[in-house]
Amino acid sequence: MSVEIIDIREIRERRRLRRLRRLTRYVYTAVAVMLVVTLVLAGFRLFGKRGGAEVLPADLQAAIEQLDWVSIELLPVNEYSRPGTPVEKINAVVVHYVGNPGTTARQNRTYYERLAENRETKVSSNFLIGLEGEIIQCVPVNEVAYCSNHRNEDTISIECCHPDETGKFNEATYASLVKLTAWLCSAQGLNSGDVIRHYDVTGKECPKYFVDHEDAWESFRAAVQREIDALKAAEKDK
């Protein structure tokens, strides 16, 4: 066994070095933690942008009320066409046809409204598009409309008028349908793949023409996607 005689200055020096090493470790750890937190937050932001759907249905409704090409004519809250049930999240847009050839958007809205008194059935839609391309909103997008069965709680429904039994939309109705669908998708971070037919929910022959003509449905979706892309590009240029 040997006894070392250690200089008091050396002990102090070693302690100083130890403290310094500890401090350096703390600084490195803190920097690493900050870096990880920053990366995670940046990742979330990127992911959020790509995933979209960050807009709350109530905020989307407020934005719709600013559009001069949508006529807001909300139904009174009632059990048969506007139950007032809140929608928490919008995952899709569902397209329908009214199934009553030659009727106007206003006539269909009146039909929904009268259900509050005559209680014949429960039916409504968030939007109606008429034969002249006019767009009427009947139920806010942050509330359930009675249109798409079990998807009423997480979708927006659009009912379209049509001149005859084929259910084919005329040019004005079609143009408004593309415009409205694309605008809604774009505002919600959705794509044309999130646009569905009533048929895709329950197998019902609705909207008839787009069920009978799969190619017409696909070209409608493609037109919606082109419009979504154009809206995105315009947003970027701002």
Q: Name the residues that contact Zn ion, by CB under 5 A.
A: 96, 198, 206
> Closest CB to Zn ion among 61 and 155?
155
Tokens representing residue 16 in the block = 């100083």
Structural Rg of the chain based on CA atoms? 29
Least distance to Zn ion, CB of residue 149, Å:
9
> Closest CB to Zn ion among 186 and 211?
211
> Closest CB to Zn ion among 159 and 186?
159
CA distances from 198 to 109, 138, 143, 203 (A): 19, 18, 18, 7
Least distance to Zn ion, CB of residue 100, Å:
12
> Closest CB to Zn ion among 183 and 210?
210
> Closest CB to Zn ion among 162 and 198?
198
Least distance to Zn ion, CB of residue 204, Å:
6
**What's the CA gap between 44 and 146, in Å, rounded?**
35
- Alpha carbon 181 to its chain centroid, in Å, reads 10
Tokens representing residue 45 in the block = 């932001």
Contacts of 179 (CB under 8 A, 6+ apart): 69, 227
143, 111 Cβ separation under 8 angstroms: no
Residue type, 175: A
Least distance to Zn ion, CB of residue 56, Å:
26
Least distance to Zn ion, CB of residue 206, Å:
3
**What's the CA gap between 177 and 69, in Å, rounded?**
12
> Closest CB to Zn ion among 146 and 186?
146
Least distance to Zn ion, CB of residue 197, Å:
8
| Residue with the two structure tokens 């900050």 | 34
> Closest CB to Zn ion among 134 and 159?
159
Least distance to Zn ion, CB of residue 96, Å:
3
Sheet holding 135-137, edge to edge: 71-72, 135-137, 127-129, 155-160, 92-97, 195-197
| Residue with the two structure tokens 């206003």 | 106
**What's the CA gap between 93 and 136, in Å, rounded?**
16
